[in-house]
Amino acid sequence: MIDFIVSIDERADDLDGRQSWKIHYPLSTILFLVFCCQLAGIETWTEMEDFIEMNEASFAAYVDLSDGCPSHDTLERVVSLVNPDCLKELKVRFEQSLTSLDAVHQLISVDGKTIRGNRGKNQKPVHIVTAYDGGHHLSLGQVAVDEKSNEIVAIPQLLRTIDIRKGIVTIDAMGTQTEIVDEIIKGKADYCLAVKGNQERLYEDVALYFSEAKLLEKLAQKGQYDQTIEKSRGQIETREYWISSHIKWLCQNHPKWHKLRGLGMTRNTLDKDGEISQEVRYFIFSFKPDVTTFAKCVRGHWSVESLHWLLDVVYREDYNQTLDKRAAFTLNLIRKMCLYFLKVMAFPKKDLSYRRKQRYISVRLEDYLVQLFGERG
């Protein structure tokens, strides 16, 4: 983490939108303080000001607070002036240093989230599209758009900013576009994409193909079928997966889907006190047909949904009233970093919730600063 702070100082001219003669606090100082506040679960700008003042001695061991603690207005104003493109670049470099991105079959899940608290009387809320490595709990990159419908344009832009080589990119049905497939291929990665009604002809062909019961039996006999059964909270969920590499006919009908190597179907059956419900979904993919890999892609994609859920539950992001879009974007980026560290940091008890971990940090701040940044002073 200290390397990330140092890199902010090295790129201060690119990152900082302030006039140099007006600067009282280096950008790295402000971002360091905001990061620590978010790590401890401090939500609003005024609460951050109070928390910094209450822990001034601990923070002063790491940053220069000889001019006193910054006010909540200063914190919010400086964060709103940060150049988001440069900060994204530094964050990508930092997270690439935490794990090897050359791992075969690394899953990169792409999805968007609207920050509803950013909605104003005369502005739409910012919508952020994220690429997430669930296996390492890392947000690899993100871009902001004005509306969810703009995800189609944003996803190729996002994929160009990160290293996706040897990975498998998973996207929900909105991102199932031939242009996005071509961008994934250019990045030397594979894809596993959901197919729904937005690709009507493709959806109808795949659904019709898997509609024959004899075909499903044949695929199972050939080892192209898998099943898992989970019991929890008074319900039983059965997940079934089928794949097929018999796709020559599909490639002829849909030649623009490049590098297509297989089709997949999932059927989730939920038994809750005898009430049965089912959901069937269809997919196309480009990796060597393997039902285990397919199942991991389908299940793994929900890691990015879990990330978005955590942002709302742990950080109450949808209720945060930061209206400046740059500030909202930067806070979202910082919170994702915090979730990673909350996952990997050491705590005195096992199986603590994220909120309980935040309480430990807020009460024993000095101990956790040492754990993250080492002894200073």
Range name among 13-22, 56-65, 263-272 with the lowest pLDDT average: 13-22
**Would 188 be classed as within a structural domain?**
no
pLDDT score of 117: 77
Residue 160's pLDDT is 92
Q: Distances from the Cα of 169 to the Cαs of 14, 40, 184, 285, 321, in angstroms?
A: 31, 32, 7, 10, 33
Question: What is the predicted pLDDT for the residue at 46?
Answer: 96
Pairwise pLDDT comparison (218 vs 373), residue with the higher score: 218
Q: Select from 258, 289, 320 the last residue of a domain.
A: 289
User: Residues near 95 by Cβ (< 8 Å), separated by ≥ 6?
Assistant: 138, 139, 140, 340
Q: Please report, as a single letter, which amino acid is at residue 134.
A: G
The Cα 184–Cα 155 span in angstroms is 10
pLDDT tens-place string over residues 139-156 = 888 998 877 668 899 999
Of 289, 319, 334, the domain-final residue: 289
pLDDT confidence band for 90 (50 / 70 / 90): confident
Are residues 204 and 274 both part of a single domain? Answer: yes
3-state secondary structure of 301: coil
Is 14 within the bounds of a domain?
yes
Q: Please check whether residue 117 lies inside any domain of the structure.
A: no
Rounded to whole angstroms, the Cα distance separating 366 from 12 reads 27
pLDDT at position 24 is 79
Range of the structural domain that residue 12 is part of: 2-82+345-373
**Same domain flag for 353 and 279:** no
CB environment 274-288: b (16+ within 10 A), e (fewer): eeeeeeeebbbbbbe
Domain of 238, CATH number, reads: 2.20.130.10
pLDDT, tens digit (0-9, with 9 covering 90-100), for 190-218: 999 999 989 999 999 999 999 999 999 99
Backbone angles phi, psi at 264, to 5 degrees: -140, 150
Look at residue 120 and tell me if it is in a domain.
no
Q: Are residues 280 and 349 in the same domain?
A: no
351 and 276 in one domain?
A: no
Q: Is the pLDDT of residue 365 over 70?
A: yes
- Could you give the number of structural domains in the chain? 2
Could you tell me if 359 and 285 lie in one domain? no
Residues 198 and 285 both lie in one domain? yes
Is residue 45 over pLDDT 60?
Answer: yes
Q: Which of 289, 308, 335 is the last residue of a domain?
A: 289
In a domain, 266, yes or no: yes
Domain assignment present for residue 18? The answer is yes
In this predicted structure, what is the pLDDT of residue 17? 56
In a domain, residue 36? The reply is yes
> Per the domain annotation, does 127 fall within a domain?
no
- How many residues are recorded in the chain? 377
Is residue 234 within 8 A of residue 273, CB to CB? The reply is yes
| Shared-domain flag, residues 272 and 355 | no
- Helix (H) and strand (E) counts in the chain: 17, 9
Rounded Cα gap, residues 167 and 189, in angstroms: 5
Residues 195/202, Cβ–Cβ less than 8 Å: yes
Q: Find the helix or strand (DSSP H, E) in which 236 lies.
A: strand 235-244
pTM, to two decimals: 0.86
Lowest mean pLDDT among 117-126, 253-262, 265-274, 299-308: 117-126
